[in-house]
Amino acid sequence: MSPASRADCEALDAADALGRLRRQFRIPEGLIYLDGNSLGPVPESVSGALAQAVERDWGRGLVRSWNNADWIELPQRIGAAIARLIGAEADEVIVADSTSVNLFKVLSAALRMRPDRAVILSEPGNFPTDLYIAQGLIEQLGGRHTLRLVERDALGQAIGPDVAAVMLTQVDYRSGHRLDLEAISARARAAGAITIWDLAHSAGAFEVDLNAAGADFAVGCGYKYLNGGPGAPAFLFVARRHQQAFTQPLSGWMGHARPFAFETGYQPASGIGRYLCGTPPVLSMIALERGVDTVLAALGHGGMAALRAKSVALCELFIEQVERRCAAFGLTLASPRDASSRGSQVSFASADGDSGYAIIQALIARGVIGDFRAPDILRFGFAPLYVRHVDAWDAAEALAEIMRTEAWNRPEFLTRQAVT
């Protein structure tokens, strides 16, 4: 049963075992933050951790801190922490570079594993950078491969004997539709294709079990549900059985078996370490580690299952309230109605793109932060670590008020900024 009043929401929040985890974050008073799927909020512990890294480790320790403060181990250490959230072993995940760059690395390795096949299979609605990276790699490889884009419902049949790699994002960034990672991975395995999962909108939001699904490769963002900060380093997963098979093309010194032997020839590290390229961005890594810790904290409060249950409850509440209050104003649900096919976000399509953008701007002006995704999507992320039932309730009410009064229809809300 969804709550029928704001008081019901307050009661649910008071009884919520995950409720205390909100205190891990610095969220401005009065702000409703529904954009943690784009940039998670800053954990309270980050300022202190960064200050210590700057004053003590960089300031006084200087170059010695690569050893003394374990800077050199950060990619492996944070990788091992993220592994706990995505059903991987500690030595199957490493933190490095951006999601885009990591995708380039693992897609390269995947294609080399299937030299007799030439198709990369994906969806036309996949996040653009994923498609762009595949296009760029195909060009680098001489144009022998094809990026084949098929609609979601046709994916199963499209995984045939010519498919080298199935490259998909588990949760659609626009609609929040969640693919069946297990079923598609099984289908790919049966067809001899390699799977590459983009977990940008999965990791930290709900349970993912890569090894139970037999997934081959994965990548994902540090700055979304992992709360690692703007431009945080990303992660990548390589199933242990594939780690020795091939090198990735960005053969930088940090992926060398002995970086500090300064040898002339490249020899890849034996495990996941070969997926590193250059020097890790230490300060960003330290912030990311604190961000990942905020999610690990949930493991002591019912774990990912509790996070998922709360996320579903928040999304259902928001959908119900928006549909009840806004049906007359041209907003239609753009996310799956069935929670099991949804990630941790809810999207509504607006009557047209211009009003959609303006509605989000008007909401932001009232302290409700969501975002707009072209052409016409209003997107609301419900990160269960810190979003409350009252937030979902109040956000729906604010949206209804803006639609009823047409408060969005003002020049300052209609002018688009660089980042939407």
Ligand X SMILES: *Cc1c(COP(=O)(O)O)cnc(C)c1O
Supply angle C-alpha 281, 287, 293, rounded to 5. Answer: 130
| Beta carbon nearer to ligand X, 2 or 100 | 100
Q: Would residue 224 show up in a list of annotated catalytic residues for this protein?
A: yes
| Beta carbon nearer to ligand X, 198 or 293 | 198
Say if residues 176 and 131 touch (Cβ distance below 8 Å): no
Residue whose entry in the numeric block shows the structure tokens 């610095």: 26
Minimum CB distance to ligand X, residue 168 (Å): 9
Residue 368 CA to residue 35 CA, distance in Å, equals 9
Residue 286 CA to residue 406 CA, distance in Å, equals 44
Q: Would residue 127 show up in a list of annotated catalytic residues for this protein?
A: yes
User: H/E element holding 65?
Assistant: helix 65-68
Minimum CB distance to ligand X, residue 219 (Å): 8
Say if residues 339 and 315 touch (Cβ distance below 8 Å): yes
Minimum CB distance to ligand X, residue 323 (Å): 26
Per annotation, catalytic residue among 173, 206, 223, 275 = 223
Per annotation, catalytic residue among 16, 35, 172, 198 = 198
Minimum CB distance to ligand X, residue 52 (Å): 26
Minimum CB distance to ligand X, residue 129 (Å): 5
| Beta carbon nearer to ligand X, 343 or 356 | 343
Residue 274 CA to residue 186 CA, distance in Å, equals 27
| Beta carbon nearer to ligand X, 199 or 349 | 199
Written as one letter, the residue type at 233 is P
- The DSSP secondary-structure symbol of 32 reads E
| Beta carbon nearer to ligand X, 169 or 321 | 169
| Contacts with 374 (C-beta within 8 Å, 6 or more apart), sequence order | 353, 420
Contact residues toward ligand X (CB under 6 A) are 98-100, 127, 129-130, 169, 173, 198, 200-201, 221, 234
Structure token pair of residue 306: 């509790």
Minimum CB distance to ligand X, residue 224 (Å): 6
Say if residues 399 and 326 touch (Cβ distance below 8 Å): yes
Per annotation, catalytic residue among 25, 33, 127, 413 = 127
- CA 393, 394, 397, 399 dihedral sign is negative
3-state secondary structure of 345: strand
Residue 33 CA to residue 41 CA, distance in Å, equals 8
| Beta carbon nearer to ligand X, 170 or 355 | 170
Q: Would residue 198 show up in a list of annotated catalytic residues for this protein?
A: yes
Minimum CB distance to ligand X, residue 127 (Å): 3
3-state secondary structure of 163: strand
Residue 220 CA to residue 170 CA, distance in Å, equals 10
Minimum CB distance to ligand X, residue 98 (Å): 3
| Contacts with 184 (C-beta within 8 Å, 6 or more apart), sequence order | 155, 156, 159, 166, 168, 195
Say if residues 275 and 248 touch (Cβ distance below 8 Å): yes
Say if residues 378 and 37 touch (Cβ distance below 8 Å): no
| Beta carbon nearer to ligand X, 125 or 259 | 125
Q: Would residue 223 show up in a list of annotated catalytic residues for this protein?
A: yes
| Beta carbon nearer to ligand X, 96 or 349 | 96
Per annotation, catalytic residue among 174, 224, 274, 290 = 224
Nearest Cα to Cα of residue 243 among 277, 274, 276: 274
Structure token pair of residue 206: 């709900």
Which residues are marked as active site?
127, 198, 223-224, 379
